[in-house]
Amino acid sequence: MHLMSTEISIVLPTYNEAENIPIIIEKIRSTLESYNISFEVIVSDDNSPDGTWRIVESLSIKYPFLRVLRRLENKGLSPAVVDGFHSATGKYLIVMDADMQHDETILPKFLEKFKNGASIVVGSRKSDGGGIDGWSKRRQFISWGATMLARLFGFNNSSDPMSGYFGITREFFHDVVEEINPRGFKILLEFLAKAPAGKVEEIGFKFQPRQYGESKLTGSIMLQYVLGLYDIRFGKLIPLRFINYALVGFSGVFINQMGLLLGIETFKFSHEISLIFGIELSILSNFLLNNYFTFRDRRKKTVKGLANGLLLFHLVSALGAVINYAVAILFSEKSGWSIYLSNLLGIAIATIWNFVLNLHWTWAENRNNGQSKER
Ligand code: GDD
Ligand code: MN
């Protein structure tokens, strides 16, 4: 194989696209052959239950330019795209939907833009000649909102930063691939965040309605998108995990107070016992919520793991409580701050302390699995 004798590599990420895949491959072939462009097509399939990968496998006998990756791990659109790019041999790497919503007739224009020096070329629904057919008012609104949000987070080098139709040069891909976090649908955002100024070009196209199969863009993917926007811009400054952790802690303040109230009013406990009851309740709920949300990727599932984690969490929380107390006393007595302000500072410092301890101890990363990009 002569690396780079292929001009463009087209990656089609698929999940249950059995009806669409033979048609889109034929459309791509017919367009690119008529322009005499050397190309290959790589279908990056997540082991679709409808057998998309198997169909592609048999088509590849007829089409020498065609290959399939049957992916069993790390499923999802963005990692499927990155894997496809890794296995590609072309100078320029282009991804498009396999469901014919993306207009393949503009592919030759991508090549033109790359030859004129672009690092990223975006197929845009929002620039000249672009548009969307048959979208509900609701989906139009969501799309508008997501684009505005991207602007707000400083993505202003593309009119359609959520597009699933774009290309990048092989060189640019290898320059940045180590630094990106391919999750969910936000793969283009990751590349746009790393793009050199003036190197992003766009081609307008009309996004077509889907004929066969169904969309995999769910509400949870949209939420992931918003979190992803934050993470790309500010994740290094204040990790998403810390914000999550702080929210859980915030809920713990309420649980604590509710426990106190319940102890005094309902169970008629003494104030001391009610305090301990409230604190214990908040420690328990914090542990469970952190285990489920904040540290979802390192979640403890076995009884042994949960018991162990709960024990460590209690130890860590006890230290935090002492810190909270000490800081509050110190500041109220030595600096003349009010006890409330001092306590607030105490809580803040204890929260950071607890977070660091939980991160490196209770939910310590398993050294054997070598996963470093956990978010
Ligand atoms: N391998 C793999 N794994 N492929 C996937 C997965 C996955 O988990 N999820 C979706 N795909 C494939 C689909 O089979 C399709 O070829 C392509 O990715 C796009 O998915 P759709 O489900 O068709 O997305 P959509 O049409 O609703 O959303 C479009 O607009 C979004 C923004 O508005 C796409 O262009 C998205 O890429 C885009 O982000
Ligand atoms: Mn689609």
Contact (Cβ atoms closer than 8 angstroms) between residue 126 and residue 42: no
Whether 368 maps to a domain, the answer reads no
Same-domain status, 316 and 330: yes
CATH classification at residue 165: 3.90.550.10
pLDDT of 370 reads 44
- Spacing, Cα 256 to ligand 1 middle (Å): 43
- Any domain includes 375: no
The pLDDT of residue 219 is above 90: no
Last residue of a domain, one of 203, 237, 271: 237
Pairwise pLDDT comparison (36 vs 238), residue with the higher score: 36
Residues 166 and 39 in one domain: yes
Q: What confidence score (pLDDT) does residue 348 get?
A: 83
Same domain, 260 and 302: yes
**Tally of structural domains, the chain:** 2
| 320-332 pLDDT tens trace | 878 877 887 788 7
Whole-number Å distance, alpha carbon 17 to ligand 2 midpoint, is 10
Residues 322, 193, single domain; the answer is no
Side chain identity, residue 198: G
Ligand 1, atom 34, lies closest to the CA of 164
Could you report the per-residue pLDDT of 189-218, keeping only the tens digit for each? Answer: 999 999 999 999 999 999 999 999 999 988
Distance CA 179, CA 182 (A): 10
> What pLDDT, on the 0 to 100 scale, is given for residue 340?
62
Confidence (pLDDT) at 136:
87
Task: Tell me, yes or no, whether 63 and 167 share the same domain.
Answer: yes
DSSP string of 247-304?
HHHHHHHHHHHHHHHIIIIIS---HHHHHHHHHHHHHHHHHHHIIIIITGGG---SHH
**Ligand 1 atom nearest to 186, measured from its CA:** 39
Residue 110 has pLDDT above 90, yes or no: yes
- The answer to whether residue 373 is domain-embedded is no
Which residue, of 214, 237, 260, is where some domain finishes?
237
Q: What is the overall mean pLDDT for the chain? A: 90
Which atom belonging to ligand 1 lies closest to the Cα atom of 80? 1
Co-location of 101 and 152 in the same domain = yes
Amino acid at 359: L
Query: Does the residue 369 lie in any domain?
Result: no
> How far apart are alpha carbons 57 and 69 in whole angstroms?
9
Give a yes or no: residue 2 inside a domain: no
Identify the residue whose C-alpha is closest to ligand 1 atom 29: 164
* Nearest atom of ligand 1 to the alpha carbon of 98: 16
Do 14 and 134 reside in the same domain of the chain? yes
The set of protein residues with a Cβ atom below 6 angstroms from ligand 1 is: 13-15, 17, 44-46, 75-77, 80, 97-99, 101, 143, 162, 164, 185, 215-217
pLDDT at 223: 87
In-domain check, residue 367: no
Residue to mutate (ligand 1; options 46, 97, 155; most atoms within 8 A of CB): 97
Same domain for 68 and 213?
Answer: yes
- 114 and 97 in a single domain? The answer is yes
For 143-153, what is the mean pLDDT? 91
Q: Which of 216, 237, 258 is the last residue of a domain?
A: 237
Q: Are strands 166-169 and 92-95 parallel, antiparallel or unpaired?
A: antiparallel
Among residues 291, 287, 282, which one has the least CA distance to residue 262?
282
Q: At residue 319, does pLDDT exceed 90? A: no
Tell me, in angstroms, the distance from the centre of ligand 2 to residue 44's CA: 15
In a domain, 118, yes or no: yes
pLDDT per residue over 261-288, tens digit each?
899 899 999 877 887 788 889 899 999 9
Residue 150 sits in the same domain as residue 24: yes
Q: Which mutation among 190, 216, 221, 224 tests ligand 1's pocket best, with the greatest number of atoms within 8 A of CB?
A: 216
Name the band, by pLDDT with cuts 50, 70 and 90, for residue 157. very high
**83 and 231 both lie in a single domain:** yes
Q: Among the atoms of ligand 1, which is closest to the Cα of residue 146?
A: 33
Q: Which of 240-244, 301-305, 306-310 comes out lowest in average pLDDT? A: 240-244
CA distance 253 to 350: 13
Higher pLDDT: 65 or 5? It is: 65
Helix (H, G, I), strand (E, B) or coil at 11: strand
The residue with greater pLDDT, 138 or 302, is 302
pLDDT for the residue numbered 97: 97
Domain of 261 in residue numbering reads as: 240-362
Between the ranges 83-97, 149-163, 309-323, 360-374, where is the mean pLDDT highest? 83-97
* H-helix segments, the chain: 21-34, 52-62, 77-87, 107-115, 137-152, 170-176, 187-194, 219-234, 240-261, 271-289, 303-334, 339-357
Q: Which of 138, 217, 220 best tests ligand 1's pocket when mutated (most atoms within 8 Å of CB)?
A: 217
Q: Which residue has the higher pLDDT, 373 or 240?
A: 240
217 lies in the same domain as 295: no
Residue 368 confidence (pLDDT) = 58
Distance 126 CA to ligand 2 centre (A): 16
| Nearest ligand 1 atom to alpha carbon 52 | 14
Ligand 2 centre to CA of 210 (Å) is 6
**How remote is the CA of residue 138 from the centroid of ligand 1, in Å?**
18
Query: Predicted confidence band at 374 (pLDDT cuts at 50, 70, 90)?
Result: very low
Cα gap 196→363, rounded to integer Å: 37
The tens digit of pLDDT for each residue in 16-70 reads 999 999 999 999 999 999 999 999 999 999 999 999 999 999 999 999 999 999 9
